[in-house]
Amino acid sequence: MKFKVVIISFLLVLPASVAYADGHGGKSGTQKIERSIAALPTVAVSICVDSGDVTVRGWDKNEVLARSSEVGRIELKRPDAGNQSAAANKVLVWLADKSEEPNEKGGCHAFGDVELIVPRGASLYLQTGDGTIDVRGVASVFARSETGDISIQKASRSVEALSFSGEISVENSTGRMAMKSVSGVVSAANLRPNDQNDCFEASTISGDIQLDGVDHQQITLKTANGKIDLSGPLAHQGRYTFNTTSGDVTLSLPANSSFRLNARVARDREVTSDFPLTLTIEDPVPVLPRLPNPAPPAPPAPAPRTIVKANPEAKDQVVVVIDPQEKTIKVKPVTVKTLYSLRRISAVHGSGDALITIASFTGTIHLIDSGN
């Protein structure tokens, strides 16, 4: 009899305790955890999560604050084991899931969205597996996401963003820029360099690259199968290098643009231009037969040039086959189709201030007059 009473009591107590535990856990799941630490204005902050969104905002306080309602614990660790009472110059945001024991390593294995607020001069090192990264108002950003999007705004010193399939977007920022994605689109808008050494680099495999209003003097874009679109004014004495294997290159430039164009395209691909271009096409060097007593070499003769000038009367685009024997062809707009043996196209528009070097194996090059 006593045994039955014990069993029944146990069966009644067990569900009640489970229900209490669930209710207790649910309460803590919605509870927001928040940690902060005093930091230098140029503090370096790093965080790594396996899955979850990372949002970072800059503020005017010399303090790093981290909060989340989804992780079990947050710790702000100081890798610089110096004076613990002084402001930190390095902070590691350490996260742990609710299921993890206190001694487990946490870090990149944690799941959950995290929000960081850091000094505006902070440098960030952010990594997430499949979450998004959203940063605004800091100095330097290194951001890497496997499949999530990366969005960076108002970075003041440098940006380096890597994503496998996520989209990378950088806007209203200054400094050195480097972006790399496999299949995600890379877009940049309203970017300025801090000095002449700041360059802009972006590369993808199949993702498109879109630049609008990027004022860097040195811009290097490379994609295998994606398209390259650049719009906005060219920088004074800018150096632009575009390399695609099969994607098109489209440059939308103001009417007053001044540039030199060195393009290499496949023999059956075209270069279309709204701008009147002065083309220079070098003929292949003839192979001379060897003579028994060769005469002293003659000075090299200037290569024959083919010039394309604007034709104001022309309204529609005209495909013009440039032959080395032709001297002058006047059309506007002009579409240049290369001959079998012509793969390099050198052209000048205006005074030739900026240098544009384009290599596209099977793509088409478009130079569009945006009119502004």
Partner 1 sequence: MKECLQEEVLQSYLDGELHERRREQVTSHLASCITCSDLTRQLEQENSVLAAALAPEFEAAVPSERLRQRIDAAIAANRLEAVAGNERAVNVRDWLSSLSDLFTLRPQRTLAYASLMVIIGFGVIMAMMRWQTTPLQSTNPVVATFPPAPNQEPTTTPAPISSVPSSAPARTNSTITAVPNNRRRRSTAVIAPASSRQNETAANHVKLLPGERSYLQTIAQLDLTIKSDKGRMKPDVQAEYQRNLAFVDRTLAVARTAAKSNPNDPDATEFMFSAYQSKVDLLNTVAEARVIDKPK
Q: Which residues are near partner 1 by CB under 8 A?
A: 46-48, 92, 107-108, 125, 127, 129-130, 144, 146-147, 162, 164-165, 180, 182-183, 203, 205-206, 224-225, 243, 245-246, 264, 266, 343-344, 359, 361-362
Q: Which of residues 156 and 165 has its CB atom nearest to partner 1 in the complex? A: 165
By DSSP bridging, strand 114-119 and strand 63-68 are antiparallel
Report in angstroms how near the CB of residue 109 gets to partner 1 at its nearest.
9
CB 44 within 8 A of CB 79: no
Neighbours of 6 (CB within 10 A): 10
Q: In angstroms, rounded to a whole number, what is the distance separating the alpha carbons of residues 91 and 370?
A: 47
Q: Shortest distance, CB of residue 197 to partner 1, whole angstroms?
A: 24
Q: Is 256 exposed, middle or buried (0-12, 13-18, 19+ CB in 10 A)?
A: exposed
For residues 356 and 342, what is the distance between their CA atoms, to the nearest angstrom?
18
Q: Nearer Cβ to partner 1, position 144 or 349?
A: 144
Q: Indicate if the alpha-carbon torsion angle 254, 259, 261, 262 is positive or negative.
A: negative
Residue 109 or 157 with smaller CB distance to partner 1: 109
Q: What are phi and psi of 7, to 5 degrees?
A: -60, -45
Backbone angles phi, psi at 8, to 5 degrees: -65, -40
Question: Who contacts 236 (Cβ-Cβ below 8 Å, separation ≥6)?
Answer: 217, 353, 354
Return the number of the residue (38 or 182) whose C-beta is nearest partner 1: 182
Strand partners, 141: 124, 159
- Contact between residue 118 and residue 56 where contact means Cβ atoms under 8 Å apart: yes
Closer CB to partner 1, residue 6 or residue 108?
108
**Residues 6+ positions from 269 with CB-CB distance below 8 Å:** 338, 360, 362, 363, 364, 365
CB of 338 to partner 1, least distance (A): 11
Q: How far is the CB of 286 from partner 1 (least distance, A)?
A: 14
- Closer residue to partner 1, CB minimum distance, 22 or 283: 283
Gyration radius of the chain over CA positions: 30
Q: 138 by DSSP, 3-state: which?
A: coil
Q: Which is nearer to partner 1, 93 or 329 (CB)?
A: 93
The number of beta carbons lying within 10 Å of the beta carbon of residue 20 is 10
Select 97 or 353, whichever has its Cβ closest to partner 1.
97
User: From CA 47, how far away is CA 125, in angstroms rounded?
Assistant: 6
Shortest Cβ distance from residue 12 to partner 1 (Å)?
Answer: 32
Give the chain's largest Cα–Cα span: 126
Minimum distance, C-beta of residue 22 to partner 1, in the bound complex (Å): 30
**Cβ proximity to partner 1, 24 vs 105, nearer residue:** 105
Closest approach of partner 1 to the CB of residue 293, in Å: 28
Residue 372 structure tokens: 């502004």
Q: How far is the CB of 222 from partner 1 (least distance, A)?
A: 8
d(CA 83, CA 85): 5
Query: Closest distance between partner 1 and the C-beta of residue 46, in Å?
Result: 4
